[in-house]
Structure 1
Amino acid sequence: MAMDPKNKTVLQAVSLVVFMGALAWASVPFYDWFCRVTGFGGITNTADSGSDEILDQTITIKFDASKDRDMPWEFKPMVREVELRIGETGLIFYEAYNPTDRPVAGQASYNVAPYQAGYFFNKIQCFCFEEQVLQPGERVEMPVTFYVDPEIVTDRDAKYTQEITLSYTFYEIDLPEEVQQAALEQPAETNNN
């Protein structure tokens, strides 16, 4: 039984749209996986603990901070750079301040430059792993614990890296439901003048 040519064309068009939609849907997780595996695009690795090996060779790590134009926080690294031995665990802090009169939630995205160093940059602890909520007027210090994998010195592309820049960008996100509810339940402040 042959299919009507018009129905066949419609079926092919719908199939193409569904296939392209599936590709678009899968592209984000696939790209994220690819970047994490290869370090492409400055994506870093994560680790549960520091390196077992520490080399005598040092590397400079620089820190950068930015925020989306709609993010009301102040956000900056507390140090601009550190010099560590390759494999040594580093700990630095970023500072965030909410100058508004409302709770603000944020999520940080990050990258590493040069891109080829991303595969060797390992974060043990980072504020970027979860969303952050700052109350009105709250100022916090947020830690980043990391090390550079000693294998960087034998990598064909990354072995000449003398410095790595870790950059974060904060974006405002919707407040979690429980924070919104807690803010609504706060008693209004009264001014006794």
Structure 2
Amino acid sequence: MAEPARPREASARRFRITAFSCAAFVCGMIGAAYASVPLYSLFCKVTGYGGTTQRSEMASATVLNETVRVRFDSNAIPSVPWTFQPNEREVVVRLGETRQMSYRVRNRSDREVTARATFNVTPLLAGGYFNKIQCFCFTDQTLKPGEEVDMPVVFFVDPDILKDADVGTLPTITLSYTFFPVEPKKTPVADAATDNQASGRL
């Protein structure tokens, strides 16, 4: 018959199991943080979660006289040293009307910064009727030190929003963007050496 584990050995075993579990949890959270933006993009596109807008390749074929107010919000987390704000805080558009607006972005730091924006629309039910023809979201944006650019958004609100009893009276729709940092892609050492040799032969 096996001898029961001594109290000290049992305590040490529990400690090792707990330490291993904590380390695995931390590693998992770090991995999730780096993958959060692309995973969020995929999740929203598949499920329509969180006021995800629709993507359209062309303008609406119908334009109505009914209007809706669209507001624009901008955010950048502290690790993205950018000034980021809409050039227009809000606009009034007719349903089905194609409208272009833009966000002004400036890199306040003394280094090159790459970031990527996620977005959402509120109220959430309006997201299914907010169609973007052109957008900078979910695409890496790189700004050099002090660089300032305008990033355009082209959109329209689908007239079918009037047929949705759950939306009720036409709401004020808010389109909100948030920039997250993205680590720039590094050229492998071997490839860089090959490129330098090729450049030297030219």
Q: Scaled by the length of structure 2, what TM-score is found?
A: 0.70
Matched, 1:86 2:100: no
Q: Percent identity?
A: 41
* Bigger radius of gyration: 2
Q: Which moved more, 1:113-122 or 1:157-166?
A: 157-166
| Residue of structure 1 equivalent to 2:69 | 60
Among candidates 166, 173, 184, match of residue 175 of structure 2: 166
Counterparts in 2 of 1:177 and 1:93: CA distance versus 1, 3 Å:
same
Within-5 A mapping of 1:26-105: 31-36=43-48, 40-105=49-114
Deviation at 1:159, TM superposition (A): 3.9
Provide the C-alpha distance between the structure 2 equivalents of 1:134 and 1:102, rounded to a whole number of angstroms.
9
What whole-Å deviation, never above 9, does each CA across 1:26-52 have from its counterpart, x for those lacking one? Answer: x9788434532xxx4111110001100
Provide the C-alpha distance between the structure 2 equivalents of 1:78 and 1:28, rounded to a whole number of angstroms.
26
Task: Specify every segment of 5 or more residues in structure 2 that has no aligned partner in the other structure, as ranges.
Answer: 1-38, 197-202
Among candidates 121, 124, 138, match of residue 133 of structure 2: 124
Provide the C-alpha distance between the structure 1 equivalents of 2:68 and 2:118, rounded to a whole number of angstroms.
23
CA contact (8 A) 2:45 2:52 kept: no
Deviation at 1:175, TM superposition (A): 1.3
Secondary structure of residue in 2 paired with 1:177: coil
Within-5 A mapping of 1:100-179: 100-177=109-186
- Give the letter aligned to residue 159 of structure 2: P
Provide the C-alpha distance between the structure 1 equivalents of 2:143 and 2:40, rounded to a whole number of angstroms.
29
Secondary structure of residue in 2 paired with 1:62: strand
Secondary structure of residue in 2 paired with 1:153: helix
Q: Scaled by the length of structure 1, what TM-score is found?
A: 0.73
- Give the letter aligned to residue 164 of structure 1: I
Counterparts in 2 of 1:169 and 1:42: CA distance versus 1, 3 Å:
same
Provide the C-alpha distance between the structure 2 equivalents of 1:159 and 1:125, rounded to a whole number of angstroms.
28
Task: Specify every segment of 5 or more residues in structure 1 that has no aligned partner in the other structure, as ranges.
Answer: 1-26, 186-193
- Give the letter aligned to residue 112 of structure 2: P
Provide the C-alpha distance between the structure 2 equivalents of 1:46 and 1:116, rounded to a whole number of angstroms.
16
Counterparts in 2 of 1:119 and 1:134: CA distance versus 1, 3 Å:
same
- Give the letter aligned to residue 110 of structure 2: D
| Residue of structure 2 equivalent to 1:190 | none
> After the TM superposition, which segments of 4 or more aligned residues of structure 1 sit over 6 Å from their partners?
27-30
